[in-house]
Structures are given as C-alpha cells and as structure tokens.
Homo-oligomer: A and B are copies of this chain.
Amino acid sequence: MIPNTSGSIPADLDRWLHANDQRGMDDLFAFLRIPSVSAKSDHNADTARAAEWLNASLTRFGFASEILPTPGHPIVLAEWRKAPAGAPTVLIYGHYDVQPSEPNELWTSPAFEPTVRDGKLFARGAVDDKGQLWVHAMALAAHLGARGTLPVNVMVLAEGEEEVGSVNLAHFIERNRARLACDYVVISDSAMFAPGIPSILSSLRGLAYFQIEVQGPSGDLHSGMYGGAVVNPAMALARLLATMHDARGRVAIKGFYDRVRAFPAAVLMGMKKLPHSDARFRKDVGVKALGGEAGKTTLEKLWTRPTCEVNGMLSGYTGEGAKTVLPAKAMAKVSFRLVPDQDPDLVEKLLRAHIKRVAPPGVTVTITAMHGGRPWRADLDGPLFDAARVALAAAFGRDPVIVGEGGSIPVVGDFERILGAPVLLVGFGLPGENAHAPDEWISVDNLRRGMRAMAVLYDALG
C-alpha cells in the first residue's frame, strides 16, 4: 500500500513517486543484494561494487557523481548545483557499507536476499543505511523527474567505512572543505521513536573509553600462602570501580559534571510526553528493576545524562572450578558516555586524577585511553528544523517528536565543526529494527513516507 498522505504532498512529486514506486523498490533490492561488508577484506570487491552501483544510480537521476578514493573504501560524491541563485546548499550524508551478516543461521531469509514480510523489508543494510540513503535518492529523483529541477543545491556524500569507524571521513571533509561547503547537513541513519511517530534526533552522547590495569605482585601467587599480606589487584580494581559512583548513581569523579549543560526545558518536557513505558523497557531488557541516577526518568538517563560503565573485566582464574590464586593483575574496560559540553580529553584528566587519589599503595594502576568522541546537541531553532517539522508532518500526518540517542555518531560533530553547518538527524528506522543483528529490517511504509517527507524538505528549504 502506498500511503495516503491526504494531499499534503505536492501532487507532482507524489505522482512521480507513485509511478516509480516499483522501480525504486527494485533498485533498492539490487543495492541491498551487494554484500558491501566494509569490515571484511574478502568483501572489498563487493564494497567497491556498491559504490559503483550508487554512483551510476545518482548519475542516472541527473547528478554529477564521482567515486573519490580514500586510503580505505571510497566516497561517492554526487552534486547538483543548478538551483536558483541564492538557494541554499544541502549536503546529504549516508553510507553504503553494511555490518557483517553473521550469524547467518539466525536470519529468517538470507541477509543479502531482500524479502518483504508483513510490510517489513528484511536485508542487511535495509535500515542501516542503504534503505535510508535510498529514501533521499528517490526524493531527489522525484524532484528532477517530475520538475526537471531542484529548489536547492544538493550534494550526496556516501561513505563506505561507517561500520568501521568512519576512519577516513573527517580527513576527507577537512581536505574538501571548500567543495563541501553547505548550509545544511541532513543524515538519515537513525530510528523513529515508535511506529507512526516521526522523530528528529536532537542529541547524541559522546564517548571516552579507557582500559584500566592494576598490577600487583610480579606474578600470580598462592592465595593461601600470600593472602592477607599482599594487596589483591582484583580486589583493588573492584574497590576502584566502586568509587566511580556515589550512592545516588551519580559519577563520583571530581569535576565530572562541571561542564554538563542542562537540556532545554522544552526538550525535557517533550521527553516526558513521549509514550515510553518503564515496564515495557524492563521486559525488553530482561530485568526486574532499573538503575542509574536517582530522580531521573529512563529517557533522561539514556539521552541527557553522562554515565560510567564497565564494558569488560578480567583477572586471575576464570575457568571451570576453583583455583586459589592471588592474581598478579586485573583489568577493566571502562567507558563514559558524555553529554554537552563534556570533553573526552578533560574526562581523561579527571579520571586520572581520581584514580591517583583513590588507588591504594601496593598496586600500580595504568590507564590507557582507547577512543573518544564529543557529545552533540542540535540547536532546534532555525530554518532547517522548521523545514524538517513541516516535511515530517506532511508525510506522516502528525508533528514530529524530538528524541535523543544514548549512543554516539562521531561524524555528526565532524560535519558541524568542519563545515560550520547545522546537522539534521532524521531517521526512518523503528525500534527492534535489528540494525547490527540478524533479520535487520525497515518498514516499507516508512520508506515511502520518508521519500515524500524528504521531497517536501527540499521544497521547504528552497
């Protein structure tokens, strides 16, 4: 069923999208059949093929598109710059690479054979991110197909390394800063809050990830012969980790919250109105009670508050049975999610000072910074977000909600910082979409409404 958007989509664009619906779907299927797994070098030819496929498609739609090399997988950059004088320039970012499909045996239909069941299109990359990139391609094609023109200048930048950390993207943007100059950046690589509720993602948490190693005796000791006189590094590590939070679930590192800037009251209020259920969340996660900072709602905790988590922990004997060893060392991977205006480098300094203060004598504690990313928050005023509200309301029949995201998308900050343009994060996935898991899917209805919403967005920005 092609959605009835009740005349709120310009008739010519809606008609074109109707007429080209099957062909657009066939094209997306072809895109999804290419196993462009960027993490696996034995898929390098497939990844290159996906870039070529996308480049050819955008060229066919009327873009000047080319494949630009990087030290890793290439970047597809397609441009259309014939908008009326004074029209703004929009840069659309997406990625054509996908996560590995393993474990393949858990897929209902094969990962690289797109299949529609119950209104869901299943395939690796369906939602992350080929399907969402295709939403934009079709919206642009509708303008060029129906009208022969676009109301804005457009660049589509699609990278092939998002799933391996976008290792070459920031450098590429820096190097092509003049060419990539734009007024707005639009990214669709996220999900809506719930079915039928169009969503604008207005914040991302940052990350500061560390490995903490506690070295005690020079070798493992017998816990009977030495226990009681030698500081146990595993116990010392446990005691260090226990100092990370206070009794109310706040991070107890001095200065940690100094740079935390409160979220706007309107955003917090909006979150409280979202149809979230703690009971449902607990059931999904499989726990009887939730944790975290006292006095905050779950969505506040996930989207607006920084955290300290243990991601891994290893010491001594962990095999079957009992071994009476006093371990020589203990290790934990500890990461912090950050919110504006926390800074990963500053958090590292604070952590080092904290550990120095609480580490007991008798052990040596080493901290290694693994990687970090800055948190991000959109300024929700201005023409980009106004246009997005109009576009989403037209296609989905209701106003969008403002949501946050607990994870990190480091490139968002890169675009904003290097190009000086505001970034709109508008996603068409849904909860349970299995983005990095077997049976990844996107709603076919969301694909169609997304194309219409983005077609309206370009009109609204023009």
Residues of A within 8 A of B (CB): 39-41, 99-100, 102, 106, 164-165, 191, 205, 207, 209, 211, 216-232, 234-235, 237-239, 241-242, 244-245, 281, 285-293, 298, 301-302, 305-327, 330-333, 335, 337, 360-364, 370-371, 405-408, 434-438
Residue of B nearest to A314 (CB): B318
Q: Which of B164, B242, B332 contacts A321 (CB 8 A)?
A: B164
Q: Distance (Å) between the CB of A97 and the closest chain B CB?
A: 12
Contacts of A301 in B (CB 8 A): 228-229
**Does B319 contact A100, Cβ atoms closer than 8 Å?**
yes
Partner of A362, one of B41, B232, B244, B290: B290
A99–B313 CA distance with the chains assembled, in angstroms: 24
C-alpha gap A305/B229 in the complex (Å): 10
Contact, CB under 8 Å: A230 / B435: no
The CA of A230 and the CA of B309, in the complex, are separated in Å by: 10
Q: 17 extra interchain contacts, Cβ-Cβ under 8 A, other than A220-B436, A234-B332?
A: A39-B319, A39-B320, A39-B322, A40-B319, A102-B317, A221-B437, A223-B337, A228-B293, A229-B281, A232-B309, A239-B242, A241-B242, A310-B330, A312-B325, A313-B318, A314-B315, A324-B436
Identify which of B293, B310, B314 contacts A235 (C-beta below 8 A).
B310
**Alpha-carbon distance A235/B308, docked complex (angstroms):** 9
Complex Cα distance A150/B317, Å? 44
Evaluate contact between B310 and A324: CB separation under 8 angstroms. Answer: no
Q: Are A314 and B311 in contact (CB under 8 A)?
A: no
Among A227, A289, A360, max chain B CB count under 10 A is at: A227
Closest beta carbon of chain B to A11's beta carbon, Å: 37
Number of copies: 2
Chain B residues with CB under 8 Å of A332's CB are 234, 238
Task: Contact check, B302 vs A324: say whether CB atoms are below 8 A apart.
Answer: no
Chain B's closest residue to A298 (CB) is B229
- Beyond A207-B224, A287-B230, whether A323 also contacts B309 by CB under 8 A is no
Residues of B within 8 A of A406 (CB): 222, 224-228
Q: Which of A191, A288, A292 has the most CB of B within 10 A?
A: A292
**Chain B residues closer than 8 Å to A435, beta-carbon distance:** 222, 225
A337 touches B224 (CB 8 A): yes
- Contact check, B310 vs A316: say whether CB atoms are below 8 A apart: yes
9 contacts between A and B (CB under 8 A): A164-B322, A209-B324, A222-B437, A225-B406, A227-B337, A232-B291, A289-B361, A313-B314, A324-B436
In the complex, are the beta carbons of A287 and B217 less than 8 A apart? yes
Contact of A323 among B99, B106, B324, B362 (CB under 8 A): B99
B205 and A224 form a contact (CB under 8 A): yes
A361 nearest in chain B by CB position: B289
Q: Which residues of B contact A408 (CB under 8 A)?
A: 224, 324
Residues of B within 8 A of A320 (CB): 39-41
Contacts of A319 in B (CB 8 A): 39-40, 100, 102
Shortest Cβ distance from A316 into B: residue: B312
Q: Which of A313, A326, A370, A436 has the most CB of B within 10 A?
A: A313
Name the distance in Å between A100's Cβ and chain B's nearest Cβ.
Answer: 6
Give the distance in Å from the alpha carbon of A436 to the alpha carbon of B222 in the complex: 6
B302 touches A327 (CB 8 A): no
| CA distance in complex: A333, B238 (Å) | 13
* Residues in B whose Cβ lies below 8 Å from that of A434: 219
With A332-B234, A333-B318 known as contacts, the answer to whether A405 contacts B312 (CB < 8 A) is no
* Cβ-defined contact, B164 with A290, below 8 A: no
Report how far A373 CA is from B224 CA in the complex, Å: 12
Verify B324–A317 contact, CB threshold 8 A.
no
Residues from chain B with a CB closer than 8 A to the CB of A327 are: 310-312
Taking the closest CB of chain B, its distance from the CB of A297, in whole angstroms, is: 9
What separation, in Å, do the CA atoms of A371 and B234 have in the docked complex? Answer: 21
**Chain B residues in 8 Å Cβ range of A317:** 100, 102, 311-312, 333
Q: How far is A40 from B319 in the complex, measured between Cα atoms in Å?
A: 9
Query: A322 — which chain B residues lie within 8 A by C-beta?
Result: 39, 164-165, 209, 211, 311, 333, 335, 370-371
